[in-house]
Structure 1
């Protein structure tokens, strides 16, 4: 039993250090990760600590409080895992199925990418809308947690060195033709940018799912990449936010099926059996 005491003590100290780090982020910068799944947060924090060569979470906290670059690095580490274009064939398949059903009936449809996983996730949606002949009248709202992430997204480009990988993703998800046809290659030949008529349909904004209120009504909300990070209370709050932001007969994409005992479940009907994509019916 005595041999277990040092490891138990180390564990409790690390838990205290993590709590203090999250409190510091909230008190000093206003970003509240305290309601996120704690095991997920701990794993991301420890991975960053090791990557930076720091001995303790307390050392990481000191760097975060006194060094802006480390602070932004931590925010990125705690955020939704970055996505590549067309990296999830099931997600793309569900988008192809639901875009027409959800958006064709609206005069000026709006889609919300909540906690957008990367510019490439937004580009994927813009290309699918173009293929469904919905791009000219559909507005994509892609929100991210911080001003730094917002600036990164607004100035992002496609690295040509990864084109073969992304083309393979595109083909695997059912794409026809060449992915590069939707981009303009820069003069250096090393990067490409989304064609202006598609990029112009994406509105990027800083938005905090934890604290901010509903800001518009949407015909489709895609939140499946953000939700796995949330603890039960925060997840409930965000689902209520989505529910209050979704138009009648709109589509809501989640990471897992709604609990039958959740009061919100009566508002929704699955688009397909065994999938967590829903159509609002009430």
Structure 2
């Protein structure tokens, strides 16, 4: 464990951690390896000013060092809110107590990943988004021989199912591949085994109608023999390729005619957002479609390569 905290100390204090000031040495000696003193170095990713902020920094560093998931570049206020909600739901008194559980209990570690991940979507839960999807699918996919769509940091199985149904309605399902990526193997197992209770499918019918759907949502599902659960019909679900992928660290893995990243981007801090936007750019085919959470900054070098589909909508067509 001492090597772990040495890594955490180096990350928090930057390159100067190897030769700390005398005051920091003394403070560190007085508390041992269980605490880290902030030294105000400019290279630090985030400078905690309270004990709780320091606990949060240590939790994120431990998650990265032990499991490889890097949430350090996420908007700190968003991360703090999600961590505090999980902490309260588990009845833990401090973030440090949560960190201990995360390091030693796999269920708590998976719960933290889910808490920090994109909020799960409901099918057809955003009528404006569905309208933009219908428009975009017709614009950018019909001309491609074998179009591919990337759901980056997919907001759960219901987001992927919504897209599959829209592709079916646009007569694109049989030749379009959906690549839905999630952060962990545990999430991957969940989405591959997902189904919906029948009463929940009835509730989602309202979303479907409000977003412009015609007919019955259940027509796109197979019902279990006991009539209690439903799963997307196999000819649609087979067009979805699920995989584990880390937007923070992984490189481009394919070329896509459409990338939907608008649900993940709001949680990213400025540096991470810039990195992910470049990743999307590297992965998007010429004349492909990119869905963002907010308009591109006009001073961003990438902005000149994109043209908005509609005014005041952060959905873009790549033009260069």
Q: TM-score range by the shorter chain?
A: over 0.9
* 1:175 corresponds to 2:206: no
User: What displacement does 1:189 show?
Assistant: 1.4
| Paired positions, count | 273
Q: How does 1:80-119 map to 2 (within 5 A)?
A: 80-119=118-157
Question: Which of 1, 26, 33 is the aligned partner of 2:71?
Answer: 33
Matched residue, 1:200: 238
Q: Which residue of 1 aligns with 2:161?
A: 123
Q: What is the CA distance between 1:131 and its match in structure 2?
A: 0.2
Q: Residue 164 of structure 1: CA displacement? A: 2.3
Q: CA deviation at 1:38?
A: 0.4
TM-score (norm 2): 0.85
**Aligned position for 1:189:** 227
Secondary structure of the structure 2 residue equivalent to 1:204: strand
Paired with 1:165 and 1:229, the residues of 2 have a C-alpha distance of 29
Question: Aligned-pair distance for 1:133?
Answer: 0.2
In 2: Cα distance, 1:26 partner to 1:98 partner: 37
- The whole-number CA distance in structure 1 between the counterparts of 2:276 and 2:110 is 24
Determine helix, strand or coil for the equivalent of 1:255. coil
Structure 1 residue aligned with 2:304: 266
Give SS of 2:165's match.
Answer: helix
Partner of 1:7: none
Aligned to 1:146: 184
Work out the CA distance in 1 between the residues paired with 2:268 and 2:118.
11
**Whole-Å Cα distance in 1 between the matches of residues 276 and 201 of structure 2?**
35
Distance in 2 between residues matched to 1:225 and 1:160, nearest whole Å: 26
Structure 1 residue 49 corresponds to structure 2 residue 97: no
Structure 2 counterpart SS, 1:31? coil
SS state of the match for residue 69, structure 2? Answer: coil
Quick one: distance in 2 between partners of 1:41 and 1:278? 28
Q: 2:264 aligns with which of 226, 230, 249?
A: 226
Q: Alpha-carbon deviation of 1:99?
A: 0.1
Residues in 2 aligned to 1:102 and 1:141: alpha-carbon distance in whole angstroms? 16
Per the TM alignment, residue 11 of structure 1 is displaced from its structure 2 partner at its CA by 6.5
Tell me how far 1:163 sits from its aligned partner: 1.7
Structure-2 residue corresponding to 1:210: 248
Unaligned runs of 5+ in 2: 1-47
Alignment partner, residue 21 of structure 1? 59
Between the aligned partners of 1:188 and 1:51, the Cα distance in structure 2 is: 34
The alignment partner of 2:50 has SS state of helix
1:163 match: secondary structure: helix
When Rg is computed on C-alpha atoms for both structures, the one with the higher figure is 2
Q: Which runs of 4+ in 1 moved over 3 A?
A: none
- Secondary structure, counterpart of 2:123 in structure 1: coil
Tell me how far apart the structure 2 counterparts of residues 266 and 53 of structure 1 sit (CA, whole Å).
50
- Aligned equivalents of 2:224, 2:133: Cα separation in 1: 29
Structure 1 residue 188 displacement after superposition: 2.3
**Per-residue displacement from partner, 1:179-235 (whole Å, max 9, x unpaired)?**
000000011211111101000000000000000000000000000000000000000
The CA deviation at 1:275 is: 0.2
* CA offset digits 1:237-280 (Å, max 9, x no partner): 00000000000000000000000000000000000000000000
Select which of 143, 160, 170 maps to 1:132. Answer: 170
Q: Deviations over 1:76-107 (max 9, x none)?
A: 00000010000010110000001011101110
The 2-side partners of 1:183 and 1:108 are apart by 25
Residue deviations 1:4-44 (CA, integer Å, cap 9, x gap):
xxxxxx97000000000000000000000000000000000
